[in-house]
């Protein structure tokens, strides 16, 4: 069953735009080279500083492998000086998608 991963970071004061830029750059690079990634969304809220990446994978095991990928590790290291606290990773099953075409 497809798996949805949410990876949430909270930007330090004054670092929101820099964190968003880093997250978007990572998502674009990662999506281009990772065949198991079906969809990547980046959401954010400037007021709270929350930046959340949402990825959809073919399975939970494929999603888990990403966490240790070199590109993801480099992103986490780069973002570490931009965030308050530890990022939160949440995994859920994908139940349904409706896309109006």
According to the model, what pLDDT value does residue 66 have? 78
Over its length of 101 residues, how does the chain's per-residue pLDDT go in tens digits? 888 999 999 999 999 999 999 999 999 998 888 777 778 999 999 999 999 999 988 888 887 777 778 888 999 999 999 999 999 999 999 999 888 98
| Rounded Cα distance, 45 and 34, in Å | 27
Architecture of the domain spanning 3-93:
2-Layer Sandwich (3.30)
Closest listed residue to residue 1, CA positions, set 60, 64, 54: 60
According to the model, what pLDDT value does residue 67 have? 73
According to the model, what pLDDT value does residue 74 have? 93
| Rounded Cα distance, 2 and 45, in Å | 27
Task: Measure Cα distances from 84 to 12, 18, 31 in Å.
Answer: 5, 14, 26
Please give the helix or strand (H or E) that residue 10 lies within, else none. Answer: strand 3-10
Residues 45-68: b if buried by 16+ CB within 10 A, e if exposed: eeeebbbbbbbbbeebebbeebee
pTM value is 0.88
According to the model, what pLDDT value does residue 6 have? 95
């Amino acid at each position: 069953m497809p798996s949805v991963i949410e990876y949430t970071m909270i930007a330090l004061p004054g670092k929101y735009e820099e964190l968003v830029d880093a997250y978007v750059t990572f998502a674009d690079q990662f999506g281009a080279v990772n065949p198991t990634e079906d969809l990547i969304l980046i959401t954010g809220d400037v007021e709270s500083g929350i930046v959340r990446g949402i990825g959809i994978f073919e399975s939970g095991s494929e999603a888990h492998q990403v966490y240790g990928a070199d590109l993801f590790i480099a992103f986490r290291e780069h973002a570490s000086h931009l965030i308050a606290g530890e990022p939160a990773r949440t995994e859920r099953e994908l139940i349904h998608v409706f896309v109006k075409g």
